[in-house]
Structure 1
Amino acid sequence: MRINANAALDVVTFGEAMAMFVAGETGDLATIERFTKRVAGAELNVATGLARLGLKVGWVSRVGNDSFGRFVCQQLEKEGIDRRGVVTDARYPTGFQLKSKVEDGSDPQVEYFRKGSAASHLSVADFKRDYFSQARHLHLSGVAAALSPSSLALSRHAAQEMKQMGKTVSFDPNLRPVLWPDEAEMIKQINALAGFADWVLPGLGEGRILTGHDTPEAIADFYLSMGVSAVVIKTGGDGAWYKTAQGEKGQVAPFLTKNVVDTVGAGDGFAVGLISALLEGKALPQAVRRGNKIGSLAIQAIGDSEGLPTRAQLDEED
């Protein structure tokens, strides 16, 4: 599927994509000899999921002038994601990662090789107003904010500009402590970004780190007091809990998952479901339910985005 070059976008997002090598068998990564090459990246996962549901999605980034960069661009073409905002940077490489295979539902081992990557050099210069303004919604992730000071500046600038243009903004904290100088700086910057969002989507553990509160409602109130419209907290086996600025709140039950094979990407799948439903005008409880559903599908396939459904597959699940 190709997107008309002059067509408006439903969603725009930005961040880093990496080549990902997934182990073909269980065991320590040092012993594995066979890997399958895929793509990875939180924001790209969300873009992929939204595009599969039929939304027009733009993804902005920098990739190296190398085989990994070409591979990322090929995947964008395959998924029908608009890549006019992707720059090929001859100075820096495309990052990659190694990911172990697990069969017991535990989190896989992941090793990153991304320091100094092309995407870490994202900056305010990559905010092309004419391009971003085509979208009615901006999705932000804490991963992009953590890549580098210049990428953090882009995150702040994009959020401010899109809000001023009257666009909606969603924000998934997606904490990556190893990428930040220290926890205090991570908390400060992530919470500052959350204040620009309409919809904030932390996990329960993330919310506890970021706010110092223990309960979903207290975490939600922390962000609602900043002017956020709605907070949806992923509560793992309990599904998700939400609260709006109008005081509407509730718990949405999870979808039973029989075969958990890869937990990475569950939160991105949740974001896909929630954002797509809200942009379709569905009520928040319905949107949270779809988020739970797609999150459950994501963890039943190996790979960060392989389990994200097409519109037809999502309808079949209903």
Structure 2
Amino acid sequence: MALFVPAEPGPPDEVVTWTRTVGGAESNVASHLAVLGLRSAWVSAVGDDAFGRALVSTIAAFGVDVSGVLVDPTRPTGMYVKESDAAGSPVRYYRHGSAASGMGPSMLDTLPLDGVRVVHTSGITPALSDSCLELMRALVALPRTFTLSFDLNWRPPLWVDRDPSVLRELATAADVVFVGVDEAELVWGVAEPEEIRAFLPETRTLVVKQGADGATLFEGTAAPVYQPALNVDVVEPVGAGDAFAAGFIFGTLSGWSPRRRLRCGHLRAASSLLTHHDVGSSLPAAFVASMLDASDAEWAAAYVTGERQ
């Protein structure tokens, strides 16, 4: 979607100038993975308008394959406005009748999945329309030659007229699930990591995000692994969850240990927390390398700011 963020400080209702950028859960993850050096592609639909052309161009500039993006000649590109604040950013969606809401199961007919290792999805897509829900159900029903990743990404405004119970169905069908404790409490009434695990016992890999506290990984029958988050000088938090998911997926595809995968997620999230944009500049490679294998004490003592550390 086209994303507008404040271009100047101050309360949102006093901001005069806004910056147009790009936002969207799946495109964020694809962009982060491309920056990390993996081949990634983003599949969606945009309108035949300036916003659509700009966001496809921007996402492609990160190194993402956008050849699977459809251009809808009748529906507009979705957009949203982020009222940025370090404590939390209200998001205003304008995507009713958007090009993306017109997606359906037929998109899978031309989706090249040969050789694809991970397909990442979110709980946003099934909220857009009945046809988008059908698309998600058709995707999870495909013969599984890839790892299916699903981020709950609870967005209350999108579910006002829809039944969110389908989110458990989709999460249960996925191989890897990302869910925040705050959103799990709102959607499913379970808030503790162990309760969320009990709620999704079939999920092979469950990552419970605990905000600024850290994240807990449940995988198979192994003991859960908890990794505290980094201390970060937060500019704005929206988009950090997508960055975390990308870092964790990167670490998983790299064959890393559970703790290293979680740390990779936290490090990628930190790069997003330092900016108003959903995809920020990467942290210095040397710092990332040192923190991936740092001692617990070194990790706890680190502090990431706009000057990195």
Aligned to 1:230: 205
Structure 2 letter corresponding to 1:262 = E
Task: Map 1:164-179 onto structure 2 (within 5 A).
Answer: 164-179=143-158
Aligned to 2:252: 278
Tell me: CA distance 1:312–1:92, structure 2 relative to 1, closer, same or farther (3 Å). farther
Shift of 1:166: 2.6
Contact 2:68/2:111 (<8 A) preserved: no
Question: What SS is found at the alignment partner of 2:200?
Answer: helix
Task: Map 1:134-173 onto structure 2 (within 5 A).
Answer: 134-161=115-142, 164-173=143-152
- List runs of 5+ in structure 1 lacking aligned partners: 1-17
Contact 2:5/2:81 (<8 A) preserved: yes
Shift of 1:313: 7.4
- List runs of 5+ in structure 2 lacking aligned partners: 293-309
Aligned to 2:24: 41
Aligned with 1:115 (options 77, 89, 96): 96
Aligned to 1:255: 230
Shift of 1:307: 4.4
C-alpha distance in 1 between matches for 2:18 and 2:70: 28
How many residues get paired? 292
What do you get for the CA RMSD once the two structures are aligned? Answer: 2.0
Matched, 1:213 2:190: yes
Shift of 1:202: 0.4
Q: Deviations over 1:103-153 (max 9, x none)?
A: xx2112332221111011111111135513341111110111211111111
Q: Deviations over 1:244-275 (max 9, x none)?
A: 22132121111111x21011011111101111
Question: Identity of aligned pairs, percent?
Answer: 35
Contact 1:23/1:34 (<8 A) preserved: yes
Compare relative contact order (CA 8 Å, sep 6+) and give the higher one, 1 or 2. Answer: 1
Aligned with 2:64 (options 75, 78, 81): 81
Tell me: CA distance 1:130–1:21, structure 2 relative to 1, closer, same or farther (3 Å). closer
Structure 1 stretch 51-60 or stretch 290-299: which is displaced more?
Answer: 290-299
Tell me: CA distance 1:165–1:216, structure 2 relative to 1, closer, same or farther (3 Å). closer
Aligned to 2:300: none
The two structures have a TM-score, normalised by structure 2, of 0.88
Structure 1 letter corresponding to 2:250 = S
Q: Deviations over 1:23-71 (max 9, x none)?
A: 1223444432211111011111111000100111111111111100110
Contact 2:247/2:267 (<8 A) preserved: yes
Aligned to 1:292: 266
Tell me: CA distance 1:65–1:316, structure 2 relative to 1, closer, same or farther (3 Å). farther
